[in-house]
Amino acid sequence: MFNWSKFLNNYHITGRLTNNIIMKIEKSVIINKGSGLVFDYLKMTRNQDNFSVWNMADPNMKKSYEGTDGKVGFKYSWDSTLKNVGAGEQEIAAIEDGKSIEYAIRFSRPMQNTGKTRFQIKSLGNDNSSVTWTFDSPSRFPMSLFSPIFKRMLGKDLEKGLHNLKVILEK
């Protein structure tokens, strides 16, 4: 039987491959609307149903809500029979009024994991705003080997979601 541990130790790559790494994805868009309007739309978690590709992936998924939307502690839970959607919950962890909304995400299916996502809103003047959507999640070995592929796939999803957001808000 092949001894992976010995192989990795011999090539001095165990630390990079076997330790948890944080996979970080960050995408941005400029929206031709004021930052106040953009922030007010984004802080309402239920609005993600209108622009997030993940929220729109399964129109039949079960959704539940707990708390007051737009306030720290609000929880949105989803449960889908589709493997690419799975089940989990997203909770507003922090809000910096007019500037950012941060969420804690807990995935329960198809695999258990946690993550953080954040919307950062900046005024660019003249009723223009920049929105940066960041996703951070630990990636454990052996899944960490596929991190570049996941980053590319998830990055495309963030870009599509930001495009959807821009179209909605610029109507």
Other Cβ atoms within 10 Å of 95 Cβ, number:
17
The total number of residues shown for the chain amounts to 171
pLDDT 10s digits, 48-102 = 999 999 899 999 999 999 999 999 999 999 999 998 899 999 999 999 999 999 9
Give the residues across from 64 on adjacent strands: 77
Contact (CB, 8 A) for 52 and 165: no
Class of domain 20-169: alpha beta
Contact (CB, 8 A) for 161 and 51: yes
pLDDT 10s digits, 86-98 = 999 999 999 999 9
Q: Single out the residue of 126, 152, 165, 168 nearest to residue 25, CA to CA.
A: 152
CA distance 41 to 37: 6
